[in-house]
Amino acid sequence: MPKLLIGFMGSGKTSIARLLDPDFIDMDQLLEERLDMSISQYFAQYGEAAFRREESQLLAQLLEQDRLVSTGGGVVMSKENRKLLAQADQVIYLAADFDVIYERLSQDKDHQRPLFVDKTADEFRDLFHQRLPLYEEVASQTIQVSGKSPQEIVKEIK
């Protein structure tokens, strides 16, 4: 059975996955390898809808495997994906406060998210609030991560 980490961009999915199992699969990284370009480049060239199709295809494949997966923050946007996720045994939602996320993403110059850089702060906050119920809908476990160390979060998951 696969185990999936979900949550908004900047909630720490990749860092926590690395601590839980160094052999984890990072969806964004795998997509970048498959698409042979960065996610930002792909968004700019083909648009978000094309990215979502690639993401959904990959999600369906990963759900067939027995691995820990760090998902992209937008994986819950599609109803089809949510249906698939809801059937998975372990879907762990890392829930972070908006201010923590905003600060983290502003600092993260190495990994620029197109949906962050292309939106105003208000638009980005709207996206955050729009997505919260979607993560909650599919989560089998919710961990509040703000103010906790990675080790504390890992302990809560295990």
Does 115 participate in binding ligand S3P (rule CB under 6 A)?
Answer: yes
Q: Considering the complex, what minimum distance in angstroms separates the CB of residue 26 from ligand S3P?
A: 8
Binder among 114, 118, 125, 154 for ligand S3P (CB under 6 A): 114
Does 73 participate in binding ligand S3P (rule CB under 6 A)?
Answer: yes
| Burial 101-135, CB ≥16 within 10 A → b, else e | bbeebeeeeeeebbbbeeeeeeebeebbeebeebb
Does 28 participate in binding ligand S3P (rule CB under 6 A)?
Answer: yes
Do 77 and 134 contact (CB within 8 A), yes or no? yes
CA dist 39 → 6, 46, 97, 156 (Å): 18, 10, 24, 31
Q: Which stretch binds ligand S3P (CB under 6 A): 72-80, 85-93, 95-103, 139-147?
A: 72-80
Rule CB under 6 A: which residues touch ligand S3P? 9, 13, 28, 39, 72-74, 113-115
